[in-house]
């Protein structure tokens, strides 16, 4: 059976904010672009972003303050050259999205409205009610469609073509009928999103299985800062679905079972609007000390009743609806139940500030780029500030699109051949024919539960040593799976198995990187090393996987700048 080879100037995997934005940028300049996505573009998880997108637009705010808040929020692990670039370009980026059609909420004078968010010196989050990501995703997709980008929706990107230090294409199959294809291009971009789906309680979409990370890692390419997983303070109790930081930004108060506003003890100045890692640890600590609420005592209250029905209906209507649907609680009338939920991936494919993927600390991969949550630029360091992720995806999506445009004429097309699909073919064949006794949902559940238990908000050496062994064991058991569906039409049984394989691989990166980082910084909190250790760990982790699946770690300097490293308090 022959596999068709399609040739494009650029191929982008992922059709969320970063992918669609980059595609439009290239297509507008006359390049032929394919975007491959395992969903329909409008189903991408960018659309789930609720609260806002940061830019220092107002006279009371400044670019420098935005930079400072971001660097401080990152616990000084962010690369300051990248942060400066993003913050400087933020106002223009948001206004450009507005010009393309984004339906932002407005001030009375017609300008874009902004609201306060955690860890910020000024109300800086531009918003569209509580569905900011939705309007932005729609807008960039619509304009990319208008410009004629080829979207290959419901195609699963299974591998990259990587030879001699260069990436020259993507190997994929059509989820609808298992038709296979090779996408040959001079430039390839990954914009495949985050990896919080490896945790039991998470805010992420089913699709966020971090495929892009493992695809890259299996070729021996590095992943950066994978230990930094952000736990968002306000996931709905039970299923982890997100209640936006806008709820705290608009004035929500956190209360424990004694009715105490406990943030007074953890962050007396910023209270509920301290950085996310600080608030999440406070919540989990309250629950651990027996002051949790709800039927399982595994949550705390967020009380919004004092805001009144009018403000809640105007600014937080979707959030109210979510709490009614999943908890049966109306935030206008009563406090609702929340707890920390795995939310955002600070780590990812290491790139420079222009989106070039790193081969190691000093060299780059030819023709390979990444942007959005899958990338580690790093603008978020050890902890991302609320409303900076949408900004990152939108700004770097566009910026890296421009980088590709600049590079593309200097790159050569390495012609692909049918053998480039061998790895994908072998992977599909192995899963479809494996006749073992393990079940994918069972293994995935064990992985997710153990990651939450052993590599979650609070970490120790003992728990993580245990988790390394467990992930390795699960990887062995994964070789002995059997799936029910052997057919070609919309075989999501097969897809979930491939995705689990990815989750297992990158989870080992998370745990090995976390085990070696013997300090507490941002979202990575070690109960056995409770303070930040700048002397030994003001460094990015660069992790590599060898053919045997073992991880080795190196470290890379952080790009420091005008915002001096200092103690971080809220």
Partner 1 sequence: MSMQAITTQQVTFNVFRFNSETDYLPYYKQITMEVTSEEVVLDILDRIKWEHDGSFSYRRSCRHGICGACAVKVNGKGVLACKERMNDMIGLFGTELTIDPVSSKHAIKDMVVDKKDFWDKHEAVEPYLISEIEEHPEMECYVTPMESEALLESDLCIQCGLCHYACPVIEINDAFLGPAAFAKAFRFNADVRDEGIDERIGIVNQPGAGIWDCVKCFECAEVCPKEVNPIEKITKLHNQTFERNDAIDNVATRHAVGFAHSIKKHGLLDEGELVRYSEGNIGVLKHVPVAIKMWKKGKIVMPWNMPKSDKLDEIKRLVKSSSTVKF
Q: Which residues bind partner 1 (CB under 8 A)?
A: 39-40, 42-45, 47-48, 92, 94-96, 98-101, 103-112, 128, 131, 134-135, 138-139, 142-143, 145-146, 176, 205-207, 237-239, 241-242, 294-295, 299, 318, 321-322, 325-329, 337, 439-441, 483-485, 487-493
Q: Which letter, b or e, does each residue of 310-344 get, where b requires 16 or more Cβ atoms within 10 Å of its Cβ?
A: eebeebbeebbebbeebbebebbeebbbbbbbbbb
Least distance to partner 1, CB of residue 283, Å:
16
Please say whether the beta carbons of 17 and 45 come within 8 A: no
Comparing CB distances to partner 1, the nearer of 36 and 223 is 36
Helix or strand run (H / E) with residue 453: helix 440-454
User: How many CA atoms are closer than 13 Å to the CA of 234, on its beta-carbon side?
Assistant: 28
Q: Are 350 and 40 contacting, i.e. CB atoms less than 8 angstroms apart?
A: no
Alpha helices, DSSP H, located in 479-533: 492-516
CB closer to partner 1, 143 vs 184 = 143
From the candidates 131, 218, 276, 517, give the one annotated as an active-site residue. 276
Give the C-alpha separation, 557 to 327, whole Å: 45
CB of 492 to partner 1, least distance (A): 5
**Cα separation, 308 vs 313, whole angstroms:** 9
Toward partner 1, which CB reaches closer, 149 or 226? Answer: 149
Q: In angstroms, what is the minimal distance from the CB of 428 to partner 1?
A: 16
For partner 1, give the closer residue by CB, 139 or 513: 139
Which is it for strands 180-190 and 364-370: parallel, antiparallel or unpaired? parallel
User: SS3 of 405, please?
Assistant: helix
Which residue's CB is nearer to partner 1, number 122 or number 138? 138
CB of 148 to partner 1, least distance (A): 11
Q: Give the integer Cα–Cα distance in Å for 138 and 136.
A: 5
- In the bound complex, what is the minimum distance in angstroms from residue 144's beta carbon to partner 1? 9
**Alpha-carbon radius of gyration of the chain:** 22
For residues 52 and 126, the answer to whether their CB atoms sit within 8 Å is yes
Q: Which is nearer to partner 1, 419 or 429 (CB)?
A: 429
Least separation, in Å, of the C-beta of 184 and partner 1? 26
Pick the closer one to partner 1 by CB: 253 or 488: 488
Residue with tokens 């971090």: 210
Residue 99 among the catalytic residues: no
Q: Mapping DSSP to helix (H, G, I), strand (E, B) and coil, where does residue 292 land? A: coil
Considering the complex, what minimum distance in angstroms separates the CB of residue 296 from partner 1? 9
Residue 284: phi and psi, rounded to 5, are: -65, -35
Between CA 244 and CA 338 the distance in angstroms is 11
The tokens describing 169, both together, are 């294409």
Residues marked as catalytic = 276
């Amino acid at each position: 059976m022959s596999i068709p080879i399609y040739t494009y100037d650029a191929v982008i995997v992922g059709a969320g904010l970063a992918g669609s934005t980059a595609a439009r940028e290239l297509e507008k300049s006359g390049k032929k672009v394919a975007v491959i996505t395992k969903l329909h573009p409008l189903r991408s998880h960018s659309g789930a972003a609720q609260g806002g997108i940061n830019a220092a637009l107002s006279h009371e705010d400044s670019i420098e303050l935005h930079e400072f808040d971001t660097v401080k929020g990152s616990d000084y692990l962010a690369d300051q050259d990248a942060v400066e670039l993003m913050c400087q370009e933020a106002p223009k980026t948001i206004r450009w999205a507005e010009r393309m059609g984004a339906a932002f909420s407005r001030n009375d004078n017609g300008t874009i409205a902004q609201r306060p968010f955690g860890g910020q010196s000024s109300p800086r989050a531009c918003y569209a009610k509580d569905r900011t990501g939705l309007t932005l995703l729609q807008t960039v997709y619509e304009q990319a469609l208008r410009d004629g980008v080829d979207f290959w929706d419901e195609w699963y990107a299974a591998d990259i073509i990587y030879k001699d230090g260069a990436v020259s294409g993507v190997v994929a199959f059509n989820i609808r009928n298992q038709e296979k294809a090779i996408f040959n291009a001079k430039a390839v971009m990954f914009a495949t999103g985050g990896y919080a789906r490896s945790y039991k309680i998470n805010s992420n979409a089913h699709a966020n299985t971090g495929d892009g990370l493992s695809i890259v890692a299996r070729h021996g390419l590095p992943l950066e800062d994978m230990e930094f997983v952000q736990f968002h303070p306000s996931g709905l109790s039970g299923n982890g679905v997100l209640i936006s930081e806008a709820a705290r930004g608009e004035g929500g108060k956190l209360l424990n079972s004694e009715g105490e506003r406990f943030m007074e003890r953890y962050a007396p100045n910023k209270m509920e609007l301290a950085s996310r890692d600080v608030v999440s640890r406070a919540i989990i600590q309250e629950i651990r000390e027996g002051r949790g609420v709800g039927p399982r005592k595994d949550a705390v209250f967020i009380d919004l009743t004092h805001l009144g029905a009018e403000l809640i209906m105007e600014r937080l209507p979707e959030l109210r609806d979510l709490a009614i649907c999943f908890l049966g609680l109306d935030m206008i009338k009563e406090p609702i139940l929340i707890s920390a939920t795995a939310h955002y991936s600070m780590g990812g494919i290491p790139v420079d500030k222009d989106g070039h993927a790193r081969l190691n600390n000093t060299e780059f991969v030819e023709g390979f780029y990444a942007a959005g949550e899958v990338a580690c630029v790093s603008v978020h360091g050890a902890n991302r500030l609320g409303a900076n992720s949408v900004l990152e995806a939108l700004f770097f999506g566009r910026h890296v699109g421009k980088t590709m445009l600049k590079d593309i004429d200097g790159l050569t097309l390495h012609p692909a051949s049918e053998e480039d699909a061998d790895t994908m073919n072998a992977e599909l064949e192995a899963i479809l024919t494996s006749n073992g006794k393990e079940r994918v949902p069972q293994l995935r559940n064990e992985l997710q539960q153990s990651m939450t238990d052993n590599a979650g908000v609070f970490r120790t050496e003992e728990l993580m040593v245990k988790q390394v062994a467990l992930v390795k064991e699960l990887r062995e058991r994964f070789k002995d799976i059997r799936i029910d569906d052997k057919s070609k039409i919309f075989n999501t049984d097969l897809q979930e198995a491939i995705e689990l394989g990815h989750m297992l691989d990158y989870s080992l990166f998370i745990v090995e990187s976390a085990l070696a980082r013997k300090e507490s910084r941002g979202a990575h909190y070690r109960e056995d090393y409770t303070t930040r250790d700048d002397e030994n760990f003001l460094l990015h982790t660069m992790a590599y996987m060898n053919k045997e699946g073992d991880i080795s770690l190196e470290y890379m300097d952080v790009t420091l700048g005008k915002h001096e490293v200092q103690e971080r308090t809220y």
